[in-house]
Amino acid sequence: FSVSDVDLIYGVQEYQINVNTTVGGFDNYIYSIEGANSIGASVDSYGKITFENSTDKVGSITIHVKREADNQYIAVEKSFTLTVSYHEPEAQPTVAGETKNESGWYTDSVVIKAPDGYTIAYDNKLDTTWKSEVTYTEEGVNDVFVYLKSADGCITDKIAIGDIKLDTGNPDANTIAITYATPTWEKVLETITFGIYKSDTLIVKLVAKDTNSGIASLTYNLGGEDVAITFDGETTVSHSFTINAQYRNEITLTATDVAGRQTQVNSDHVLVLDTKAPEINTAYEFTSAQHREDNDIFYTQGDVYLMFTIDEANFDLSNNPFVTVNDEERVVSWTKINETDKWK
C-alpha cells in the first residue's frame, strides 16, 4: 500500500486517511500519530482523523500506518505528514462607526463587517459562533484582531484591524470646575447670589478631565465672544485668566475632548466685580407754586417729593434698597431709566 502527504486548510473538523491498496479495507490497518501532536488531532481505528472543537492550532503531524503480517502478506509500515494551514482570505473586513471630527476617534460602537462570502469572529476556534459582523465596544485605544471563515468552512489566521480608538462618553461634568481667587485678598462679600468682589481683578481657573481621548480644548464665554484654549489630548487640563473690575455676568465653559464630544457647565451664579461706589443724586419736586429757598432751607405750603437717582451698574433690587428719612426707614420703588445703569 502507499500513502501521501496531506495538506488541509484550518477549519476542517475531520479527515479520512486514504490508503492506496487493493488488499483489504481500512480495518486491516493500524493508525497512530507519531511524536508531538501540535494540532489537537486524534485518529480512530478506521483512519478517520478528528480535530478538537476547541483547537485553534495549525502545523504538521506525522501519521503512522501499519499493516500486520498474515498468511499472505508481510507486515508493512509507512508514514506521511499531515499539515494544517490557515486560509488566505480573498478580501478584508471593513470598519464603520460614528465620528465627530477627523481625529480618528469613534464616538459610538464600532461595527466590523465580514466581506462577502465570509463570516467573522473575535477568535478562530472550531466551535466559535460566526456572524456577518461583530460590534466593538471597548473604550480607549486598543489593537484589534478578528478572524474570517469562508462559506466552505476555511478559517484564517488573525487579521489586524489596527488601533480602534473609542470614546463614547462626554467629558465628566463632575470633573469640570470654575474656581476663583482674588490676588490681594480684598474679597469683602459673598452672598447667596454669588461673589461680589472689591478686588480690581479676579483670577479664574478652569479645570477639566477626560479619561479616554483626552481634552482637546476649553472654550469659555464671559458674555461676549467665545475664547478657545487648545490642548494635546491630556487627561487633565487647566487654564487661568483674569477678569478686570466692573464685570457682571455668568461664565460658560465648554470642555471638548479629542473625539469631539462636549460638556458645558456654567458658573453657579452671576459673577460681579465692582470697585465703584454708587453715584447718588437728589432732586426736589414741589406740589405748590408758593415756595422759597433761604440758606438751603425750603419753605412751601404743599407737599414735597424727594427724588433719588442712583447710577450703579450692579444695582440689585433683591437687596430691597431703602431710604432713611428722619431716622425712619422707608421702602421705595425703583425704576430703571431707559435701559441704562441709572435707577430712580
The model's pTM is 0.73
Residue 195 pLDDT exceeds 60: no
* Structural contact between residues 70 and 28, judged by C-beta atoms closer than 8 angstroms: no
Distance CA 50, CA 14 (A): 4
Separation CA 13–CA 89 (nearest Å) = 19
Contact 237, 215 (CB under 8 A): yes
pLDDT in tens, 214-255: 999 999 998 788 999 999 999 999 999 988 877 778 899 999
DSSP 119-144: EEES---TTPPPBSEEEE---EEEEE
Instruction: Tell me the pLDDT tens digit for each residue of 137-165.
Output: 999 999 999 999 999 999 999 999 999 99
Percent of the chain scoring above 90 in pLDDT:
54
